[in-house]
Structure 1
Amino acid sequence: MPAAHNVMILYTGGTIGMQPSAAGLAPAGGFAARIQAEQAQQALSLPTWQCRELTPLLDSANMTPSQWLQMRDAVVEAIEAGHDAILLLHGTDTLAYSAAALRLLMPDVPVPVLITGAMQPAGTPAGDAWPNLFGALATLAQDCASGVQVFFNGQLMHGARVSKRSSTRFDAFAPVARPRQAPRLATLPATLSWQQPRRHVPLALISLYPGISASAVSAQLENVNGAVIECYGSGTGPADNRALLDALRNAQQRGVVLLGISQCSEGAVHFGTYAAGSALAACGVISGGGMTREAALGKLFSLLGAGLKPSECEQLLTEDLCGEMCD
């Protein structure tokens, strides 16, 4: 990808641009002027950029999938307006979720889309806000691959392979060391193109734990289109709980897509290793291999939001769309 010359900065809020309030740090507008002033003060030579604030500005703890669609639409509009790179400023609490969702919502986006934020607000002495922001712009001024990536603490990371690992350290984000082995999709369906809008779909995230009840699982599977099931180890669950298995099976049979991932930070799902895993697979839970929680949610949201049938989604969940399941 050639060096970027016309960057759109999309500012969503987050710590990077926050200002003190009576209740604590809160999102604040007018950040473009602060960027310009700091760039001039540091005498930095950077690509030409414009800044757009996506309202309402958010603490990323308030981020929802509706904002994923808003960000996706803003990226598309910027590209269609002639921008050759996008820099998205985002709060760190849910940055990895948005990065994964955007990577899967736009698996073939033709320009670099970098996402960054900060652990401390801009202007904090020796803070990380300006290094992250200007470092991302400098990266875009070089040869930078297309696709959604996270830039943080000088590191460039695949958008659907990263998780937040610290609430305080400047190197808060890192690629998750999970095995990724899946067939690469030969041709991306037109319905999954970056230019195709998506609709909002409700999802559930169910983390198994000792003593989890069938009624709790059944309740979470009501009124959703899909669910990520965080399994033990290599993909096991309480196989002797027939009511719980029935809740999963009944949901799958009425069209809820179930995707299983491992709770282990370095794990992957292989349902056939243990009988307790085979029981989940028999209920229609699809193996997510070594996908992260963030990637699993983003992939389900993208596929179901494209209007695909549950059976089509289940097939595509087992294939690599944009590097989320293989290197």
Structure 2
Amino acid sequence: LARLIGHHYADFDGFVVLHGTDTMAYSAAALSFLLEHLGKPVVFTGAQVPVGRTRSDAARNLLTALEIAAARHPRAGTVRMPEVGLFFNDVLIRGTRAKKVESQQFAAFKSENYPPLARAGINLDFNDSSIRLLPAAQLHVHQQLEEKVAVLRLFPGITEAVVTAVLGVPGLRGCVLETYGSGNAPTAPWFLNCLAKACANGLYILNVSQCEEGRVVQGHYETSARLTDLGVIGGDDITTEAAITKLMFVLGLGRNEAEARHLLSHDLRGEISPM
């Protein structure tokens, strides 16, 4: 997708990507990172009900996505949404903030920890203050993603064998650690030792909350105080979808450890809100 958009970037004013709903949020986040200095709209959309069925939502989603991709500021005439977005049902969501939350209703996606970029009713109402500004630089298309990453979701009663199995996958370079609340995790010695060993071996661990709202604040409670010292990187209010694709993107850049840690802990494409 990134290569195709880069190849045809000068030929079109905007792009609409038709995508299956189950992994759409992951693809939207990944493309957000790959398309650096994006100055045109890229809108993901799809349907809960296939287009051939009577009550399909496909036509409405597609037509609105096309309208968003073609939208211009009424006065300035500039691009209205120079970033990757995901439109579904009646809401336009930043690509790095989208999460699928429903499998049976038309309102399938939610904007997590960030206001929608637009809402579609009788009119298409853009939330211009929440949309990224036009970049000053030219588009740069990245094409490398590191596939050796994983997600480890904590749960009460998780065992050392499970944690060791995930963190010890041969060749693993990065792991999203889904913790409780504001980034809290077990304080059992065996668990902390597993994290310490993994970080010492060069594994990048990104701490993301299991909560749909709020953010990770490592050290706010005793149960997360040790994580920073061990080398775990706080993910702030990033979504799991954006976190895993950001790991793939940053580790694919081939930067040194200091640069990689800096990129992982700072906002790149609107995936992290300022404190």
For the aligned pair, the TM-score class normalised by the smaller chain equals 0.7 to 0.9
1:125: which partner in 2? 54
Task: Give how far 1:125 is off.
Answer: 1.4
Task: Give how far 1:119 is off.
Answer: 0.2
The amino acid of 1:173's aligned partner reads F
Matched, 1:313 2:260: yes
Task: Check the 8 A contact 1:218/1:248 in 2, yes or no.
Answer: no
Task: Check the 8 A contact 1:199/1:305 in 2, yes or no.
Answer: yes
Give the number of aligned pairs.
244
2:185: which partner in 1? 237
Offset from partner CA, 1:131-172 (integer Å, 9 cap, x none): 111111122222231111001113211111111111011111
Question: Secondary structure at the residue paired with 1:271?
Answer: coil
Question: Secondary structure at the residue paired with 2:15?
Answer: strand
Match runs of 1:61-76 below 5 Å:
71-76=1-6
Q: 1:161 aligns with which of 84, 97, 104?
A: 97
Task: Check the 8 A contact 1:290/1:325 in 2, yes or no.
Answer: yes
CA distance change for structure 1 residues 202 and 272 in 2, over 3 Å: closer, same or farther? same
2:110: which partner in 1? 174
Offset from partner CA, 1:97-133 (integer Å, 9 cap, x none): 1111111222422211100010011132132001111
Task: Check the 8 A contact 1:103/1:148 in 2, yes or no.
Answer: yes
Question: Secondary structure at the residue paired with 2:195?
Answer: helix
Matched, 1:294 2:241: yes
Question: Secondary structure at the residue paired with 1:163?
Answer: strand
The amino acid of 2:196's aligned partner reads R
Structure 2: gaps of 5 or more residues: 73-79, 116-134
1:8: which partner in 2? none
Offset from partner CA, 1:61-113 (integer Å, 9 cap, x none): xxxxxxxxxx2222222215x22211111000111111111112224222111
Task: Give how far 1:199 is off.
Answer: 4.0
Task: Give how far 1:201 is off.
Answer: 2.9
Task: Give how far 1:178 is off.
Answer: 6.4
Match runs of 1:222-301 below 5 Å:
222=169, 223-240=171-188, 242-301=189-248
- CA RMSD for the aligned pairs? 2.0
Match runs of 1:175-214 below 5 Å:
175-177=111-113, 194-214=140-160
Cα distance between partner residues in 1 of 2:271 and 2:145: 21
Cα distance between partner residues in 2 of 1:137 and 1:146: 14
Offset from partner CA, 1:169-199 (integer Å, 9 cap, x none): 11111201369xxxxxxxx9x9xx7323214
1:25: which partner in 2? none
Matched, 1:219 2:165: yes
1:303: which partner in 2? 250
Cα distance between partner residues in 2 of 1:266 and 1:78: 37
TM-score by length of 2: 0.83
Cα distance between partner residues in 2 of 1:92 and 1:290: 23
CA distance change for structure 1 residues 270 and 206 in 2, over 3 Å: closer, same or farther? same
